[in-house]
């Protein structure tokens, strides 16, 4: 995980989710192909937070610690990532 996060920070480019994600470590079990494609399309910063939250089941505090980010940044990236996924998958807002 740390190698993937370092690559994202260093290169500031998209890293394929299959190569760097905790989701890949679980062999994509339980993830629909459409959802994986949508997650792959997220910007790297949002993709990392979504993958850590839902792929590794880390809490926002644990993600903040692992990525050396303020907790508010984790929350905003998670919210924006989920909004992006809703739009890509055409899922109505749950509010």
Prediction pTM value: 0.65
- Name every residue whose Cβ is closer than 8 Å to that of residue 89 and which is 6 or more positions away in sequence: 34, 35, 38
**Who's near 69: CB < 8 A, 6+ residues apart?**
63
Which tokens hold the place of 64?
Answer: 């903040």
Q: What domains can be seen in the chain, in order of their start residue?
A: 2-89 (1.10.10.10)
CA distance 77 to 48: 9
**pLDDT of 71:** 95
The residue among 46, 53, 47 whose CA lies nearest residue 20 is 47
Tell me which residue has tokens 């993709």.
47
pLDDT at position 75 is 97
Q: Tell me the per-residue pLDDT of 76-90, one tens digit each, with 9 for 90 and over.
A: 999 999 999 988 888
Mean pLDDT, residues 54-83 taken together: 91
Each residue's pLDDT tens digit, 25-42: 444 556 677 788 888 889
Return the pLDDT at 27: 47
């Amino acid at each position: 995980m740390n190698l993937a996060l370092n690559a994202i920070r260093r290169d500031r480019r998209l890293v394929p989710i299959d190569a760097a994600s905790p989701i890949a470590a679980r062999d994509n079990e339980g993830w629909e192909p459409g959802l994986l494609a949508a997650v792959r399309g997220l910007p790297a910063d949002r993709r990392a937070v979504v993958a850590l939250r839902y792929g590794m089941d880390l809490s926002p505090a644990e993600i903040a610690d692992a990525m050396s980010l303020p907790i508010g940044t984790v929350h905003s990236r998670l919210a924006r990532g989920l909004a992006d996924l809703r739009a890509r998958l055409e899922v109505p807002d749950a509010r």
